[in-house]
Structure 1
Amino acid sequence: MRMNYKYEMFPNEEQRQTMDRWLSICRQQYNSALLDKQRFYQKNKTGLSRHALQKQQTKDKQRFELLKPIPSQPLQEVLFRLEKAYKNFFEGRARYPKIKKHKDYTSMTFTQFGVEKRKVKNKKTGDVHVRDVRYAASLDENNHLLISKLGSVYVNFHRPIEGKVKQVSIKRQGHRWFAIFSVERHVNETVDFPVQSTGVDVGIHKFAVLSDGTNVENPRFLLKAEKKLKRAQKKLSRMTQGSNNWKKQRQNVQQLHIKIANQRRDFLHKRSYHLSKMYKVVFVEDLKIQNMVKNRHLAKSIHDAGWGAFCRKLEYKCNNNGGTLVKIKAHYTSQDCSSCGKRVKKALSVRTHVCKSCGTVLDRDHNAAINIEKVGRDLLGLCPTV
């Protein structure tokens, strides 16, 4: 399976400027290719393939000096991104591709990594010998990231990389730079799970409630920092756009958003890791978050909770540890009684489940989590829980 390892890198000022320039060139190539595809379709009523764009890019690199200093792999990967953007659009997973602004294009990918041994034949003598071929991105002897036409960059490897690195992406986040290694590794099948399964009901009042009654409180990172964020944004709006003070304040606002995102990401990683280690099978509701955020009263709280990111992290962590994440349909899991199965209708504001038929009184989310586990176990044909 594929996993990503993210580490902060510390380039010098010259390397920062070079990478900024490379990102700008990649963004221009993306926008240019997008416009070429649009014009070609308007004229010929058919699409322009990636291979045709790559041929044109090769010719442009010979003609224009601007494209020569940048390695070829990030430029070629630009066209793969555009092709993927169109594929996602036609398959209904995303909107139509748009022109990228400076803030939208923040990463470039080197699709080949490391050192490869190749057999080389001497044309004169006919002898064959093995030679090490270093790709555009690799690690040197001191574990520095070595990038073609850029040099060696120190990377803070705060944890070891487990597996074989297939590619690396360089990402700009505010004024910081990160190296993201895409690693191919085997699934860990030696994990001894303490509990066989659990049901998870996510919410706003509590981030998650498990079927065994465990509660995970909602940290509400955005709401806690909202007052400070509003003050910083108000200060930014009063400044002259484009001035030095405006640029500094814009960076301050950006850093606040980055801090909130990092806090949320750290929380989601820790909670999902704990669940993937504790339970062999985890059942969650298959929520339609895009429809739920249309409610303007709940949209901010739903985005702040990060349910979608939580499920994605939980899924790959479960797979990596030899477990399974199962999504089930969220039909009446909050309404049905977990003891007798009778449907007890209640508004969203009612937080306690009271069944008049069997006398069961439970927290609404706990009742839903039990129902989620029951439906999931029936779906997989597992024995019912005691």
Structure 2
Amino acid sequence: MKNVHSYGDSPLFQPLVLGDLRLRNRIVMSPMSRNRARADDLPTALMATYYTQRASAGLIISESAQVSPQGKGYRNSPGIYAADQVAAWKTVVDGVHAAGGVMFLQLWHAGRSSHPDLQPDGGMPVGPSAIRPAVEVFTDAGLKAAPTPRALELREIPVVIEQYRQAARNALAAGFDGVEIHAGNGFLLDQFLRDGANRRQDAYGGSIANRTRLLLEIVSAVGTIWPSHRVGVRVSPTATYGDIVDSDPGALYGHLVRELNRFRLAYLHITEGELLSTRESPGMDFSALREAFDGVVISNNCYGFQDAEDVVRSGSVGMVSFGRPYIANPDLVERLRRGVALSDFDPSTLHDGGARGYTDYPPIDQPPIAQPQTVSPQIDMTDNG
């Protein structure tokens, strides 16, 4: 997205009514894992600065926030399960609101994409089935291979559902404008959805209806805390991030969308194609999936300005989410409006835990801040097309 043109009259800059919210444009800041929380899963003042800098987005969706200690999938990720986390998130949200922004919190459980180093008492990560993913997990000791998870027992599933309900309650207390349930990118709810990871023989495995059951029960539980027009769902039907596949994604997600329509959600956030690579996905008709959803669709993954404008102008999509362009361009909306070339981000600072490469990218008319060079371990970013 280095070479852009000015499209001040683009539909991307038009307001959108989302339930009872009026968003000032159709540009969404996609969730991105940046690893700036404290080791105890507490959001920081630096995170408040980061999100406030990007408040001109029509909608900000936060980075993944684990709904329980068991849900943690990488180091320095924030939680939303404890009172001190609620208070810390409130500082973040207050900053965004003071800058005129709207912010949803993404509710997340990593499932099998974790490691005992990140789990309470060094326990094994959990998943729908005891199938080891070919992924590496970012721990305090560096990248480590994920082990074979422990299959969640049937009696444990209501506990997980209640964790989502409580996390939704905590997000409300923190002042967020809504919540997004993360059911993509190879994490727990995605693991239950797709038959490459779910080999259960009970009510949560086997048929498509069974594999979608957990997500739908969580949507219902979250809906007891938030009105449905303040709840979104994120899916990635054909992305293999997290070493995950499904034998028939068209049938699976067609069924899921029909079921989600019952809830009259705020939106469906769809990562199209392969994460961070391409929106092409042979055998999967994303246009039909968008058409099947009754509410607002947010499209994601490798969108440039012209692509985003075209898809919104077509009427098949209400909003487009951008991840990587937001890293080095906190004023992305204004840069696109004015046709200013976008800055490149420094990949060595994606997950280093400090201000450099996080809050020091300048707006259009401000020179860059000189910082010493450091190098951090490299891992793939999630949720950041």
Structure with more of its chain in strand, by fraction: 1
Structure 1-normalised TM-score? 0.23
Structure 2-normalised TM-score? 0.23
Which structure's CA Rg is the greater one? Answer: 1
* Higher relative contact order, structure no. (Cα contacts within 8 Å, ≥ 6 residues apart): 2
Structure with more of its chain in helix, by fraction: 1
